[in-house]
């Protein structure tokens, strides 16, 4: 009996580049719909790579990995990242802290033309979440500038050392 002709190998499907958990999958699907956050504050998909602001992100199960830092992917954090109007009160303090850190680190909150101002929106997301993040960012920035202004510079240290040595020489018999 003749052998049937072998069928050409079907092209193998490329492996999925990410391992998506149930929570992540739910919010990734929702992010493409009418409730998705398509503003600067949300998750972007550019040619199969996800981004928040300028930073590419990886999804591992439900977790987000940004620049080797892992953020626990809770429903609250996923809502903040993917939804236009996340449900207030659904997020924990840790979700809000992580979202704020992601927005600041990814430079997703500052306006590119004027980095001293945020992207302002009239959305509930701005009012309920982003404004708090921005205000805390500005506060920390001012505190850091204040601390640095009080810290003596190298020039001041050299001048102080010079004055000290002159005083020692005047008071000493060996100069």
Q: What is the pLDDT of residues 4-17, one digit of tens each?
A: 555 455 455 444 45
> In this structure, what DSSP letter does residue 112 have?
S
Asked whether residue 115 is domain-assigned, the answer is yes
- More confidently predicted of 138 and 2: 138
Q: Which pLDDT score, from 0 to 100, does residue 37 have? A: 56
The Cα-based distances of 97 to 29, 74, 131, 168, 169 in angstroms read: 24, 13, 13, 53, 56
For the cut 70, the answer to whether the pLDDT of residue 94 exceeds it is: yes
Residue 69: inside a domain, yes or no? yes
**CB-based burial label for 5 (10 Å; 0-12, 13-18, 19+):** exposed
The residue segments making up the domain with residue 73 are: 19-171
pLDDT of residue 13: 47
Residue with tokens 């939804």: 83
Token pair of 16 as six digits: 């999925």
Residue 172's Cα: distance from chain center in Å?
A: 59
For residue 26, tell me if it sits in a domain. Answer: yes
pLDDT, one tens digit per residue, over 155-167 is: 555 666 666 666 6
Overall domain count for the chain: 1
**Does residue 141 lie within any of the structural domains?**
yes
Is 166 inside a domain boundary? yes
On whether residue 5 sits in a domain, the answer given is no
DSSP β-ladder status, 49-52 and 69-71? unpaired
Give the model's pLDDT for residue 107.
82
Query: Tens digit of pLDDT for each residue in 46-64?
Result: 887 888 888 899 999 999 9
Q: Report yes or no on 10 lying in a domain.
A: no
Q: What is the mean pLDDT of residues 96-113?
A: 86
Q: Could you tell me the pLDDT band of residue 22, with boundaries at 50, 70 and 90?
A: very high
Query: How far apart (Å, rounded) are the C-alpha atoms in residues 123 and 11?
Result: 46
Share of the chain above pLDDT 90, in %: 22
Contact 59, 19 (CB under 8 A): yes
Whether 65 maps to a domain, the answer reads yes
Q: By 3-state DSSP, what share of the chain in percent is helix, strand and coil, each rounded to 5?
A: 45, 15, 40
* CA pair distance 18, 50, nearest whole angstrom: 10
């Amino acid at each position: 009996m003749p052998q049937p002709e072998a069928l050409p190998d079907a092209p193998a499907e490329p492996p999925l580049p990410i391992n998506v958990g149930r929570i992540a999958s739910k919010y990734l699907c929702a992010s493409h719909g009418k409730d998705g956050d398509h503003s600067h504050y949300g998750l972007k998909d550019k040619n199969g790579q996800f981004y928040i602001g300028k930073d590419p992100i990886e999804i591992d199960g439900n977790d987000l990995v940004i620049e080797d830092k892992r953020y626990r992917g809770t429903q609250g954090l996923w809502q903040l990242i993917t939804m236009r109007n996340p449900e207030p009160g659904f997020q924990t303090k840790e979700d809000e802290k992580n979202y704020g850190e992601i927005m600041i680190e990814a430079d997703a909150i500052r306006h590119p033309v004027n980095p001293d101002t945020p992207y302002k929106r009239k959305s509930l997301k701005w009012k309920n979440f982003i404004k708090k993040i921005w205000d805390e960012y500005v506060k920390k920035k001012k505190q850091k500038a204040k601390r640095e202004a009080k810290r003596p510079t190298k020039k001041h240290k050299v001048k102080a050392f010079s004055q000290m040595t002159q005083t020692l020489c005047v008071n000493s018999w060996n100069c």
